[in-house]
Amino acid sequence: MCIISRRGPWRPPGSGNAEQFCMTGLSEIRPSFPACARSIETRPNVREMAAVMRGDQNSTTPTYFYCYSLPLAIGSVINAGNWGRILRTYSQQANSNAWVLIRELIFEFVRREHFPAKPSRFESLFLCTTEAGLTTFRVNTGRHLDLGYEVELVDPDAPIHLGDWGAVSVQPAANMQTYEACAQAYWQGTDVVKPELVTTSPIRIVRILS
């Protein structure tokens, strides 16, 4: 697998020739997915689902919820892609849990193969659809010191996807096949229990949560 290749330093998607080599390595896995996995554009349905979860179907400017480690003022804009930036800094010496990177590469491979119209997690922000959902996320992921914000999308027409963040959690007994199945369910967006909105749009803070 590309992560243990001796051909040179590995870099995640977006890093030139290393990307081509790495994704080629993953493509050798070639998992068999159901025929129902199709590349389809579902953005309008995703927005409707998110609105139902928020209870604001009639709102003209939908808002979402986000947590961040720094205090920010109302009106502040946060750009997408920070998670991908962090992943691109991973190295064998500095990061002991390589499964986080393996998981994200598997999710990216499945997206490219079967759902290319959906936004890449490497280039996106991740938002909760309700304030209660954000509280659950912070508790489950140990983000107790993060600050909570209500936000809006700067570019409402940017690609979005509604997935289940529970499918992305690192599992102690997980292997490649486990994450392939999780990635398939995540990108299909069915039976979402813990919703997260994936978007390439920047976000603007409209309220600071108490």
Residue position matching structure tokens 């050798």: 28
| Helix, coil or strand: residue 153 | strand
User: What pTM was computed for the model?
Assistant: 0.72
Match domain 2-30+61-208 to its CATH number in 3.20.170.10, 3.10.20.30, 3.40.50.720, 3.30.499.10. 3.20.170.10
Single-letter amino acid, residue 73: A
Greatest Cα pair distance in the chain: 55
What integer pLDDT is reported at residue 210 of this predicted model?
85
- State the pLDDT at residue 41: 39
- The pLDDT value recorded for residue 61 is 84
List pLDDT tens digits, range 103-160: 999 999 999 999 999 999 999 999 999 999 999 999 999 999 999 999 999 999 999 9
Q: Which CA distances in Å does 176 have to 166, 169, 195?
A: 17, 14, 23
Domain ranges of the chain: 2-30+61-208
The span from the CA of 106 to the CA of 175, in Å, is: 11
Report yes or no: 197 and 141 within 8 Å, Cβ to Cβ.
no
Least Cα distance to 196 among 135, 131, 126, 132 occurs for: 126
Closest to 117 (Cα-Cα) out of 51, 37, 192, 62: 37
